[in-house]
Chain A
Amino acid sequence: MSNDLLYIVANVMEVQVSQIDDESGPETIESWDSFRGLILFEELESKFSMKFTLNELLNIKKIKDIKNILSVRGASLNG
């Protein structure tokens, strides 16, 4: 899952996978604006067959937050 997550983030934000870590987010990735943020969440939802709540969407600040939400929802973090 971790790889899938990073790949999707890299793809949506148009950056290299190697540029992304747990601390990456709108603060560190220039292209990560609110529009691309919404595209990212939508593509993650379709990849992991889950839905973020509105509060989750509003509070995601870094990759780590996404990982936490995904693991709480039962998406496996192996890989």
Chain B
Amino acid sequence: MQSQVEPNLSYFIAKAQSIKGRTFQKKIKVAILSSFTINGLEEALRVKCAESDITCSTYICGYGQYNQDIFDQSSKLYEFSPDITFVIIDTRTVMSTLFYSPYATPVNDRRSYIDKRVADFANLIRTFKNRTDSKLVLTNCSIPTYSPYGICEGKSEYGLKEMVYDFNAKLSDAFRSDPQVFIFDFSSFVSKYGEVNVLDYRQLLVGDIKVSLSHIPHLAEELMGYVKANLGVNRKCIVLDLDNTLWGGIIGEDGFDRIDLSLKPPGMAFVEFQRVLLALYQRGIILAINSRNNEDEALRAIREHPYMVLREENFATMKINWNDKISNMKEIAEELNIGLESIAYFDDDPINRELMLKAIPQIMTVNLPDDPSLYASALMRINDFNTLTVTSEDRNRGEMYKQEQKRIVLKNSASNLGDFLKQLEIRVTMKKANGFTIPRIAQLTLKTNQFNLTTRRYQEEDVQMFAHDQTKWVGCAQTMDKFGDNGITGVYIVNKNYAEKEWIIDTFLLSCRVMGRGIEDVMLGYILSKAKEVGVEKVKAEFIPTKKNKPCEQLLPNFGFKKEGEQWVYSYHVPIKQTSHIELNED
């Protein structure tokens, strides 16, 4: 997959026609509700989904009918039962006559008007949430660029622009901690492309079109961020070339003192690019290097160059050698235990990019501009690093991968696996589902593929509901060892059937980061012991095979579970497997 410039809307209209009826690996149902004409968005979303291997079915509300659709319990919207609902509103509609004549209304009335509008939307959204589990993405309002007060706009109390700012701020505040509702910053979208481009007065007058047709594909691209995050389809790792990518020039030819990397142009372009990369690292994106170079020369630049922003500790792994980049790339994926489809690759050399694109099409090979001054903006345009929440595990991920490097060193020096595991001094803390752990629990069910018995995907709201359900037990495991804290890496959801004295394991998963250390055994042993304590006689589990979850195929038989039809059953006929090298705690 290659990232590219946005095609015209006509491309999406034609393509949408040609993919009709085709199905792809993942599925999503999207509803589009809007206060104005938004033709073309549906087609652009369907095509973009198809390009990411997603079948997207859609529901479009009638012209300006979004209120009715949400308030009417028997509306087609609820019948459609969307996964994501986009509600796209515009400043003119929200502000009504105040948009044109704000100052004909006294300031106190202007304030109460905005409060009333915020309350209206809060009420609309409450109604929506009572009727569906769909995620709701509501746009905020673009800030008007014109004021009849001209240069005095800033001097007037609660003027037109301030009203819209206030509306946006109150809307964000109202839903900041609501995992089901997201505010899409439409105002930023308009700033990014410019109001003169996003609003075409002729289209507005002819067809009440408030996002010009030329910008519908861009809007679709931004909204795809929510679609992909909801499905857990995102890029987790950025793999970088060095020469002419992280710095200008060639370290092996130009030398340490001559590469372009400084606080002046042209070297500053690379500093700027690295700063954006660092911010992504801080939000949980893994960075790695894949470069054909002499390792010692390149490492010296990374470690000692005064203007390097990224240093050795920011890279989860570095392949700096004369091997081919394709093999290096495969090694990186293997070492970091991530799928090729979660990698984005930056290389200035079009030939290298072409080779990578052909050899490993799942990787997003970024079409880097020829001009390094555009690198940072090319990186910022990529909308594939999204998750629905940023957890503390995300923020500490870079550090965790660094610790992992130390574990590998220990593993290579230990005489055998048992020895290595003992020396790791692993401690597992079993935790309940609560406000702190639920976002991470949901995130793990959404993205864990390999060590996952049933691959059931749950959104945060689902997990929240389970946590309050007396017939369910939701928990997670935090793992630490002598190199550091891996955070929450294991999740289980158990259905408790006391009438039958049996428990059924609905979900059991372990992050691939900590596979193969016996943590899964501690978790499963813990569940079995807890069941026994309350008089359960049978624990049932399922293994639903997928293309990716072979690593956990043997978990149940190894514990003495016996296959009965589709289920695996443990009836305490053999003792619960013990794991002596791990210390278990409860929280």
Contact = CB atoms under 8 A, between A and B. Distances in A.
Interface in B482-496: none
Nearest to B10: A12
Nearest to B203: A38
B213 A38 contact: yes
A14 B40 CA distance: 15
Interface string A17-49: 000000000000000001110111011001000
Contacts of A57: 202, 206
A38 B13 contact: no
Contact of A39 (B17, B206, B213): B213
Nearest to B11: A11
Contacts of A58: 206
Interface of A: 11-12, 14, 34-36, 38-40, 42-43, 46, 52-54, 57-58
B219 to A, nearest CB: 15
Contacts of B13: 12, 14, 36, 39
A42 B206 contact: no
B10 A38 contact: no
B8 A43 contact: yes
B467 to A, nearest CB: 47
B14 A52 contact: no
B203 A39 contact: no
Nearest to B12: A39
B43 to A, nearest CB: 11
Given A46-B214, A52-B202, A38 B8 contact: no
A36 to B, nearest CB: 7
A42 B214 contact: yes
Residue of A35, A40, A46, A58 contacting most chain B CB atoms (<10 Å)? A35
Given A43-B8, A46-B214, A38 B14 contact: no
Contacts of A43: 8, 10
B207 interface: yes
A42 B40 CA distance: 14
B207 A34 contact: yes
28 contacts: A11-B10, A12-B13, A14-B13, A14-B14, A35-B39, A36-B10, A36-B13, A38-B203, A38-B207, A38-B209, A38-B213, A39-B8, A39-B9, A39-B10, A39-B13, A39-B213, A40-B10, A42-B9, A42-B200, A42-B213, A42-B214, A43-B8, A43-B10, A46-B214, A52-B202, A53-B202, A54-B202, A58-B206
Contacts of B574: none
Interface residues of B, number: 19
Interface of B: 8-10, 13-14, 17, 39-40, 200-203, 205-207, 209, 212-214
Contacts of B207: 34-35, 38
Contact of B205 (A12, A14, A54): A54
A31 to B, nearest CB: 9
Contacts of B214: 42, 46
A54 B17 contact: no
B84 to A, nearest CB: 24
Given A52-B202, A54-B202, A54-B205, A42 B212 contact: yes
A36 B214 CA distance: 12
Given A14-B14, A39-B213, A42-B212, A54 B39 contact: no
A12 B17 CA distance: 12
Contact of A38 (B17, B201, B206): B206
Nearest to A13: B10
Given A11-B14, A12-B13, A34-B207, 20 more contacts: A34-B206, A35-B40, A35-B207, A36-B10, A38-B207, A39-B8, A39-B9, A39-B10, A39-B13, A39-B40, A39-B213, A42-B9, A43-B8, A43-B10, A46-B8, A53-B202, A54-B201, A54-B202, A57-B202, A57-B206
Q: Give the top 4 A-B pairs by smallest Cβ distance, nearest first.
A: A12-B10, A54-B202, A35-B39, A42-B214
Contacts of A11: 10, 14
Nearest to A37: B206
